[in-house]
Amino acid sequence: MTALASPLHIMETEHFEEVARILARLEKGARLEFIDGKIRSRAVPDGDHGRIIEWLTRLCIQARPELWLYPDQGLKVQAYRGGRARPDGVLAPSGAFVGQGEWADPEPVLMVVEVTSYDSDSGTRDRVEKPRAYAETGIPLYLLIDREACEVTLYSEPDDGRYENIHTVPYGKPLHLPDPVGITLETEALKDWVK
């Protein structure tokens, strides 16, 4: 009987965290994520990307002052929390991540936000991998602001590793974010921040 080749080694979460720490010290603005056992680098946000996060932060604070939209908060995601994601925004109660390290427990998270970048990975990362990872984690809402399609998509009702409800509107149409957020977004302003 011949020995079977061992399966392809997938990096352990602890090793990824060490690699991410080293790279962050060596390369300013380096942003790594670890989803489905794969390391992904994230594009450095451009000015319009930042303006969209600023716009959303203001809306959330006005409607729900007890919440905060944390930019780039690292989260432990996926089943068994083996993945590591760094959403563009994490909506949670103010102070929710005090005392936690770079990769926080997602328990207090109400919604994660991603704004697409103009890079080749954005389609797969933001439209396929992230919704699955966030749904597996049980995060109630995932808001995708898609600058290529000029659409806003809300993923809700996570169940069995996927979101049961997906609702998309073009820029300019209102989008209601149901409980636990309970805010309606007027998306007209997003038209000003696309290429």
Q: What percent of the chain has pLDDT over 90?
A: 57
Q: What per-residue confidence (pLDDT) applies to 182?
A: 97
The angle subtended at Cα 143 by Cα 37 and Cα 104, nearest 5°, is 50
**What is the average pLDDT across 156-169?**
96
**What is the average pLDDT across 180-188?**
97
Phi–psi pair at 16, nearest 5 degrees:
-60, -45
Q: Could you read off the pLDDT of 48-76 as tens digits, one per residue?
A: 889 999 999 999 999 999 999 999 899 99
Instruction: Read off the amino acid at residue 188.
Output: E
Calculate the average pLDDT of the chain: 84
Which residue has tokens 């309970």?
182
pLDDT band at 3 (very low <50, low <70, confident <90, very high): very low
How many helices (H) and strands (E) in the chain? 4, 13
Assign domain 45-193 to its CATH superfamily: tt1808, chain A (3.90.1570.10)
pLDDT band at 168 (very low <50, low <70, confident <90, very high): very high
Tell me the domain boundaries of the chain.
45-193
Q: What per-residue confidence (pLDDT) applies to 136?
A: 93
Query: What sign does the CA torsion over 105, 110, 116, 120 have?
Result: positive
Which range among 6-15, 96-105, 125-134 shows the weakest confidence by mean pLDDT? 6-15
Q: Could you read off the pLDDT of 9-44 as tens digits, one per residue?
A: 455 666 666 666 655 665 665 566 666 666 666 666
Q: What per-residue confidence (pLDDT) applies to 47?
A: 78
Q: pTM of the prediction?
A: 0.79
- Distant-in-sequence, close-in-space partners of 95: CB < 8 Å, separation ≥ 6: 68
